[in-house]
């Protein structure tokens, strides 16, 4: 073969290889960007980054995180502006959940974690004391919502000292805020307590931690899994047993149901990206596991993406079950 022919053969091969590479790059770029719904609490942000890391490095997707709280997030999920909601608290958002699933705009892929408790809490030392800290019990008989009228003075609202203060979640979490506000009225506690808008999850946590560190009374709404509930010794105030009829009636005069926290996606994703849906169907954790991830993030001072990488490194047996074998090495190499 003449030199010129060899030269052109090499050039042709190089051009062909470059073309194939460009086709692969185009195909990767053409993949849909998977948009996760970020909310203001830690656990959903961490689960988003865990799933996002896996999809990005194991499946070759681009990922994005869109912040939207409460009803705005459900609207975005229904329209397709948001693809994935890693934590749909079904009981808390039952009306929106039913509306989107029954209309076919949203698909429930199954649990992320189950039996997640929420309710009204006080520090345990108020009931039992804490000898190590020299704290005596100030409300030994405070067990249920029926006992709260007798103890309102312990929780005096500094801005309105003729009533106690109940720390509610931020009003931007519209439905949850409304439920707690309605509960106060249903139980006849509005003549004894003011409902205080915490403004943000951070402010709510800060109020609890500050009271706890100083051995002071505190009463408010909270939930699990969170790092703070895994760190502080808190006691849930008793309410009448959960009754779905009270929830439908919307007087909410009963305990919160332990919530099943499920993963939901926009229905179009099922057809357009079945590999993403297959992975998310297998994604499942638990309340204790999620709390341990959040505790690591708190103790290390890291961000949600740091906690996600820590989980992926520390719990390979968990996430290996979620993905095909051919993606595991790519994910581990990225770690």
Task: Provide CATH 3.40.190.10 ranges for the chain.
Answer: 32-116+261-334
Task: Provide CATH 3.40.190.100 ranges for the chain.
Answer: 118-249
DSSP readout, 263-330? EEEETHHHHH-HHHHHHHHH----HHHHHHHHHHHHHHT--HHHHHHHHHHH-HHHHGGGS-HHHHHH
The answer to whether the CB of 97 falls within 8 A of the CB of 260 is no
pLDDT tens digits, 167-189: 999 988 877 889 999 999 999 99
* Residue 25 pLDDT greater than 90, yes or no: no
Structural fold of domain 118-249: D-Maltodextrin-Binding Protein; domain 2 (3.40.190)
pLDDT tens digits, 44-86: 999 999 999 999 999 999 999 999 887 788 899 999 999 999 9
Give the span between the Cα atoms of 33 and 76, in whole angstroms: 15
pLDDT (average), residues 265-282? 96
* Residue 15 pLDDT greater than 50, yes or no: no
- pLDDT of res. 147: 98
DSSP-derived 3-state class of residue 162: strand
- pLDDT of res. 30: 58
- pLDDT of res. 32: 86
Q: What band does 239 get if pLDDT is binned at 50, 70 and 90?
A: very high
For 32-116+261-334, CATH gives 3.40.190.10
Q: What band does 321 get if pLDDT is binned at 50, 70 and 90?
A: very high
- pLDDT of res. 40: 82
- pLDDT of res. 230: 79
- pLDDT of res. 248: 84
């Amino acid at each position: 073969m003449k030199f010129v022919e060899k030269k052109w053969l090499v050039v042709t091969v190089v051009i062909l290889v470059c073309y194939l590479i460009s086709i692969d790059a185009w195909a990767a770029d053409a993949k849909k960007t998977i948009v996760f719904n970020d909310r203001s609490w830690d656990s959903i942000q961490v689960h988003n980054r865990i799933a996002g890391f896996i999809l990005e490095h194991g499946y070759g997707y681009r990922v994005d995180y869109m912040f939207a709280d409460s009803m705005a997030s459900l609207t975005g999920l229904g329209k397709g502006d948001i693809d994935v909601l890693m934590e749909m608290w079904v009981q808390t958002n039952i009306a929106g959940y039913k509306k989107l699933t029954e209309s076919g705009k949203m698909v429930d892929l199954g649990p992320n974690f189950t039996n997640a408790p929420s309710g009204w809490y006080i520090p345990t030392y108020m009931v039992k004391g804490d000898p190590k800290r020299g704290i005596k019990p100030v409300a030994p008989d405070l067990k249920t919502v029926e006992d709260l009228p007798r103890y309102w003075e312990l929780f005096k609202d500094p801005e309105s000292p003729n009533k106690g203060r109940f720390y509610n979640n931020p009003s931007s979490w519209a439905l949850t805020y409304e439920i707690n506000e309605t509960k106060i009225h249903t139980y006849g506690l509005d003549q004894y307590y003011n409902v205080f808008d915490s403004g943000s999850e951070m402010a709510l946590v800060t109020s609890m931690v500050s009271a706890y560190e100083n051995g002071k009374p505190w009463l408010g709404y909270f939930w699990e899994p969170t790092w703070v509930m895994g760190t502080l010794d808190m006691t849930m105030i008793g309410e009448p047993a959960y009754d779905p009829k009270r929830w439908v009636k919307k007087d909410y005069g009963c305990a919160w149901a332990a919530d099943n926290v499920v993963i939901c996606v926009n229905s179009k994703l099922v057809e357009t990206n079945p590999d993403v849906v297959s992975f998310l169907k297998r994604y499942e954790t638990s309340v204790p596991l999620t709390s341990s991830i959040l505790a690591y993030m708190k103790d290390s001072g890291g961000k949600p993406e740091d906690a996600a990488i820590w989980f992926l490194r520390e719990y390979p047996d968990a996430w290996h079950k979620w993905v095909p074998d051919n993606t595991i090495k790519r994910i581990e190499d990225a770690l």
